[in-house]
């Protein structure tokens, strides 16, 4: 799958409906996206991908609506109220990027009891009636440390930058990092929350650096690598190996450093376009298809050799991405059966 998956044109989608009468059964269905947070480039790209895929689907008559809503604050109580409002508005399916894996379960259960299909992704929920789409975030943490262990078998001091406190993704990535560190000679000498945002990460790293020994590496969660680099560059410290999270500014900085001094690292993250997979999964469930409750997708990894190609296809201010067509989504569903 390429970084930007080619989408079906409206005409092609209409032809698909004509060829597959069952798809027309969702023509009157309304899907809503409940998003808890939009304060970084990943979330902005996620919303853009949603619109890129769902707007043609609505125009082609696959579904009647695919409206996106984002809460003003990253609060589970506010998102629960948002979901309850969606129930009252009569949506047929709700796609959720959740503020908490458990705190929304009451509202999710209310939606299910009202006959509404609920599909969670990225920030998934534990309510059994909902579907879940996620990467193995714990493995994402492990893979960062495995990469570093291959580069630095003698270990060294590592700074951990975490995401939004209390969110499933943050807990899982951090758990994977710590599990794998226990198998190496690395020592985590500090931990800060970067909230998956470059400006927050830069301030947090700048604040903790004076208390830290020399670092060999920085492990991250995405949206924080460039901020960490800026904070460290403002000191007289040597630049450690910073794991990146596929953001364009991170990739551009990495490319500059690679050209200047051979800087090496790796970059990995869940693709923002996973929202488009969640949309098609919801549509397929509404269409009566048998979809497994848990779907796992690979995270998008960029290595030293793939940096130039990834940077070329990632818009400034955005994130390296994969978007899903209907055929891609059906393939993911089939693979999970």
User: According to the model, what pLDDT value does residue 311 have?
Assistant: 96
Quote the mean pLDDT of the chain: 92
DSSP string for 218-277: EE--SS-HHHHHHHHHTSSSPP-EE-B-SBHHHHHHHHHHHHHH-----EEE--TTHHHH
pLDDT digits (tens, 9 = 90+) for 213-259: 999 999 999 989 999 999 999 999 999 999 999 999 999 999 999 99
Q: Give a yes or no: residue 282 inside a domain.
A: yes
Residue 172 has a CB neighbour count (10 Å cut-off) of 22
List, for residues 152-175, the tens digit of each pLDDT value.
999 999 999 999 888 888 999 999
Same domain for 129 and 166, yes or no, is no
Residue 330 lies in a domain: yes
Range of the domain at 27: 10-135+271-299+321-336
User: Which two structure tokens, joined as six digits, stand for 217?
Assistant: 């590496």
**Are 89 and 131 members of one domain?**
yes
Residue 167 included in any domain: yes
- The answer to whether residue 313 sits within a structural domain is no
Report the percent of the chain where pLDDT is more than 70: 93
Structure tokens given for 7? 């989408």
The residue among 247, 269, 291 that closes a domain is 269
Domain annotation covers residue 306:
no
Domain boundary among 269, 285, 311: 269
Pair (74, 17) in one structural domain: yes
Among residues 117, 110, 46, which one has the least CA distance to residue 82? Answer: 110
> Quick check: is 129 in a domain?
yes
- Eight-state DSSP code of residue 177: H
pLDDT of 135 above 90? no
Predicted confidence band of residue 8 (pLDDT cuts 50, 70, 90): very low
Tens-digit pLDDT profile for residues 77-115: 999 999 999 999 999 999 999 999 999 999 999 999 999
pLDDT confidence of residue 10: 43
* Domain co-membership, 225 together with 156: yes
- The answer to whether 321 and 272 have CB atoms below 8 angstroms apart is yes
60 and 177, same domain (yes or no): no
Q: For residue 166, what are the contacts with CB-CB under 8 A and spacing of at least 6?
A: 100
Same domain, 149 and 127: no
Same domain, residue pair 154 and 54:
no
pLDDT confidence band for 73 (50 / 70 / 90): confident
CB-side neighbour CA atoms (13 Å) of 257: 19
Do 213 and 288 lie in one domain? The reply is no
Structure tokens at 251: 């990739």
How far is the CA of 89 from the CAs of 32, 105, 179, 276, in angstroms?
10, 19, 44, 22
5 inside domain: no
Tell which residue, 321, 324, 299, has the closest CA to residue 138: 299
Residue owning tokens 């503020």: 99
Full DSSP string of 323-336: ---HHHHHHHHHHH
Residue 335 has pLDDT above 80, yes or no: yes
CA distance 30 to 57: 11
Read off the CATH number of the domain in which 293 is found: 3.40.50.2300
Domain count, the chain: 2
Same domain, 224 and 252: yes
Q: For residues 265 and 275, state if they share a domain.
A: no
Asked if residue 259 and residue 216 are part of one domain, the reply reads yes
> Are 247 and 277 found together in one domain?
no
Quote the pLDDT of residue 6.
37
**pLDDT value, residue 80:** 98
7 forms beta bridges with: none
Residue 311 lies inside a defined structural domain of this protein: no
Choose the final residue of a domain: 228, 248, 269: 269
Backbone dihedral angles phi then psi of residue 313, each to the nearest 5 degrees = -100, 5
What is this structure's pTM? 0.84
Under a CB-based contact definition with an 8 Å cutoff, are residues 276 and 53 in contact? yes
Residues in the chain: 337
| DSSP-derived secondary structure for 18-31 | HH-GGGGGGTT-EE
E-strand ranges in the chain read 30-35, 65-70, 93-97, 117-121, 131-134, 156-162, 186-193, 217-219, 241-242, 267-269, 294-296, 300-302
């Amino acid at each position: 799958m390429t970084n930007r998956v080619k989408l079906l044109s409206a005409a092609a989608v209409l032809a698909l409906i004509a060829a597959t009468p069952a798809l027309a059964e969702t023509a009157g269905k309304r899907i809503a996206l409940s998003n808890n947070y939009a304060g970084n480039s990943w979330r902005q790209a996620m919303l853009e991908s949603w619109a890129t895929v769902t707007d043609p689907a609505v125009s082609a008559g696959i579904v009647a609506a695919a409206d996106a809503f984002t809460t003003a604050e990253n609060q589970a109580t506010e998102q629960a109220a948002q979901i309850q409002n969606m129930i009252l508005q009569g949506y047929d399916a709700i796609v959720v990027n959740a503020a908490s894996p458990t705190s929304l379960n009451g509202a999710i259960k209310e939606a299910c009891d009202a006959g509404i299909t609920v599909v969670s992704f990225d920030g998934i929920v534990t309510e059994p009636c909902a579907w879940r789409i996620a990467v193995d975030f714990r493995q994402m943490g492990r893979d960062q440390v495995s990469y570093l262990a291959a580069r630095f078998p003698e270990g060294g001091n590592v700074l951990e930058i975490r995401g939004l406190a209390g969110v499933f993704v943050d807990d899982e990535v951090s758990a994977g990092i710590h599990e794998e560190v226990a198998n190496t000679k690395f020592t985590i000498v500090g931990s800060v929350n970067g909230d998956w945002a470059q400006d927050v990460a830069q301030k947090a790293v700048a604040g903790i650096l004076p208390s830290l020994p020399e670092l060999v590496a920085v492990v991250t969660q995405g949206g924080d690598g460039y901020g960490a680099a800026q904070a460290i560059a403002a000191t007289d410290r040597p630049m450690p190996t910073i794991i990146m999270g596929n953001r364009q500014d991170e990739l551009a900085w990495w490319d500059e450093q690679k050209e200047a001094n051979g800087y090496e690292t790796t970059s990995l993250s869940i693709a923002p376009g996973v929202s488009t997979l969640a949309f098609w999964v919801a549509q397929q469930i509404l269409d009566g298809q048998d979809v497994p409750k848990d779907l796992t997708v690979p995270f998008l990894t960029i290595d030293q050799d793939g940096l130039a190609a990834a940077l070329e296809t990632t818009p400034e201010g955005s994130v390296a991405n994969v978007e899903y067509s209907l055929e891609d989504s059906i393939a993911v569903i089939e693979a999970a059966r």
